[in-house]
Amino acid sequence: MRFSDNTISNLRIKLDKGEVSSLDLFNTASALAYKYQDDCNLFVSILDKKDEEKSNSVLSGIPYALKDNISTKGILTTASSNILKDYVPVYDATVYKKLKESGAVLVGKTTLDELAMGGSGITAHTGIVRNPWDKTRQIGGSSSGSVGVVSLDIVPFSIGSDTGDSIRKPAAYCGVVGYKPTYGLISRYGLFAFASSLDHVGVIARNVKDISLVTDIIKGHDDKDMTTLEDDGVKFSDYINKDIGNKKLFYIKEICDYNTVDTDESKLVLDNFYDTVNKVKSLGFSVSEVSIDKDLLNAIYPTYMSISCAEATSNNANLVGIHFGNRIGSKSIDEIMFETRTNGFSELIKRRFILGSYILQRENQEKLYLNACRIRRLLVEKLTDLFKEYDGMIMPATGGIAPKFGDKSDNLSDKYLLLENHLALANFGGFPSITIPSGFVNKMPVAINITSGIKTDAMLLNMASKIENSLGYKNMIVGDDDV
């Protein structure tokens, strides 16, 4: 590993002093993007430089990348799916519009798991994405390219989306910081909907301060997204260094239990977690163990699958190849829709849609969909109660290191149901949640995750920044020897 000094603050100073130009930064980023593209496939499109808008923003002239499920007018946006392989959006997503107005410079659109459904980085229509730390391993997903471009120092930050853990888990596999805010803090207008009640736009960077600087620019109420929150005027990047006193954290005993894991590697991940907890305590935080009904916790993953697949089946019903999309067939409208969808979606997407359809059938709806929504309430109420007593929850971000291609997991095991999939809790309740690197297991990065109550993003980022400063992995990038 190496460390990069290309933080947003440092680049800002260099730009302001005239030591570099935005064109220099763009050219460097673009050259690196091309350099790693064959090996890692991080981008769907690497762009030519456009004139950035004049702005006094901290991001003016700073290069960045956007996940390819975020609308960019006039720029190919495929969601890494064959059905949208030639789709050019006709409007800008709010997050892109705000970044454009801030003068940030878009370097490229990053590869994702098709339609943001998946957590492997292997289902994009342009091929698999490889983990820069070890190219025989997955990078995770669905914000696969967006974490890779930050870990390779191509850009200082990128934008992703997170429906179950799609920013925070690949960030853990790749040794970078991944943050999803409180639901409604960042507008979803122009994000291709996967599961609207769980979808979040979020930020990936190499340190928490940079996450704060970017979030300050892109957050805020948006008339085009009625679920966005009113502006509260808090500037996260100012709040980040405030003394907030000693905070109280907890972890969930049943999830961080050595008895739930069955491999040495997972045990080492838990070792790393408990070592990190000790470091966090030495900073003045208190960290308590709390217990939650294991049957309820075991239902996290099926609840996520039920709600997300049901919403996805409905949200993607517009992909039929008539007004847009890769139209196939010509005999009748029905035939066009059928052939377009048959050829346009990969097998995994079809399987998820069928599951969503099954869940929504009249005879299954009560048992599978509505009961999942009831479990969602029980879990969210439980966490909301805990956040009244504690300032945040600290957990291992994953149950293992990035898997090898072809690795199979036991999807009914405790490890899979608990340690690998608990990050969806933050999506159920719209809680802000951040993953920060906490060390290495078998030469691959691992991370902790911190989640807090809704609308406490400023405090969460403050806590994460303090913890990050003590762990020693801030601004980490993949070393030359690793690539």
Partner 1 sequence: MIDKEKLREYAKKLMFDMKDSEYDTLQKEFDVILKQMDLIGKIDNISSVLPMFYPFELDNVKLREDVVNNELVFDDLLVNTSNVKDNQVVVPKVVE
- Our finding on whether 351 is near partner 1 (CB under 8 A) is yes
The residues carrying an active-site annotation are 67, 142, 166
Site for partner 1 in 260-299 (CB under 8 A): 295-296, 298-299
Dig out the tokens for 380 from the structure: 């969210």
Amino acid at 463: M
Q: Outline where 219-262 has alpha helix (H).
A: 236-239
> Which of 357, 403, 413, 483 contacts partner 1 by CB under 8 A?
357
Q: Name 477's bridge partners.
A: 2
Buried b (16+ CB within 10 A) or exposed e, 381-411: ebbeebbeebbbbbbbbbbbbbbeeeeeeee
Determine the 3-state secondary structure of 392 from DSSP: strand
Q: Of the listed pieces 54-62, 124-132, 135-143, 342-350, which binds partner 1 according to CB under 8 A?
A: 342-350
- Our finding on whether 230 is near partner 1 (CB under 8 A) is yes
In degrees, rounded to 5, the angle at the alpha carbon of residue 476 between the alpha carbons of residues 472 and 482 is 120
Site for partner 1 in 142-201 (CB under 8 A): 183-184, 197-198
- Our finding on whether 337 is near partner 1 (CB under 8 A) is yes
In the complex, the smallest distance separating the C-beta of residue 413 from partner 1, rounded to whole angstroms, is 11
DSSP 8-state assignment for residue 258? G
Which one, 38 or 366, has the nearer CB to partner 1? 366
Q: Name 159's bridge partners.
A: 66, 203
> Which of 9, 37, 227, 413 contacts partner 1 by CB under 8 A?
227
- Rg of the chain over Cα atoms, rounded to whole angstroms, equals 21
- Our finding on whether 342 is near partner 1 (CB under 8 A) is yes
Which one, 174 or 336, has the nearer CB to partner 1? 336
Site for partner 1 in 389-418 (CB under 8 A): 411-412, 417
- Our finding on whether 223 is near partner 1 (CB under 8 A) is yes
- Our finding on whether 376 is near partner 1 (CB under 8 A) is yes
Q: Outline where 316-456 has alpha helix (H).
A: 333-344, 347-360, 362-364, 371-389, 414, 424-429
In the complex, the smallest distance separating the C-beta of residue 107 from partner 1, rounded to whole angstroms, is 24
Site for partner 1 in 417-446 (CB under 8 A): 417, 427-431
Number of shown-chain residues binding partner 1 (CB under 8 A): 74
Site for partner 1 in 113-152 (CB under 8 A): none
Sign of torsion over alpha carbons 430, 436, 437, 438: negative
Site for partner 1 in 11-70 (CB under 8 A): none
Question: How far from each other are the two terminal CA atoms of the chain, in whole angstroms?
Answer: 10
> Which of 281, 333, 472, 479 contacts partner 1 by CB under 8 A?
333
CB proximity list for 461: less than 8 A, separation 6 or greater: 179, 208, 211, 212, 215, 236, 239, 240, 434
In the complex, the smallest distance separating the C-beta of residue 430 from partner 1, rounded to whole angstroms, is 3
In the complex, the smallest distance separating the C-beta of residue 302 from partner 1, rounded to whole angstroms, is 4
Which one, 388 or 412, has the nearer CB to partner 1? 412
> Which of 79, 95, 193, 229 contacts partner 1 by CB under 8 A?
229
What is the C-alpha separation between 29 and 18, in angstroms, rounded? Answer: 18
The answer to whether 131 and 402 have CB atoms below 8 angstroms apart is: yes
- Our finding on whether 234 is near partner 1 (CB under 8 A) is no
Q: Of the listed pieces 22-30, 42-50, 138-146, 222-230, which binds partner 1 according to CB under 8 A?
A: 222-230
In the complex, the smallest distance separating the C-beta of residue 447 from partner 1, rounded to whole angstroms, is 23
> Which of 240, 270, 320, 467 contacts partner 1 by CB under 8 A?
320
Which one, 114 or 210, has the nearer CB to partner 1? 114
What is the C-alpha separation between 389 and 30, in angstroms, rounded? Answer: 47
Within 10 Å of residue 363's Cβ, how many Cβ atoms?
8
Phi, psi of 162 (to 5 degrees): -145, 115
Site for partner 1 in 77-116 (CB under 8 A): 86-88, 90-91
What is the C-alpha separation between 368 and 375, in angstroms, rounded? Answer: 10
In the complex, the smallest distance separating the C-beta of residue 195 from partner 1, rounded to whole angstroms, is 11
> Which of 2, 35, 135, 377 contacts partner 1 by CB under 8 A?
377
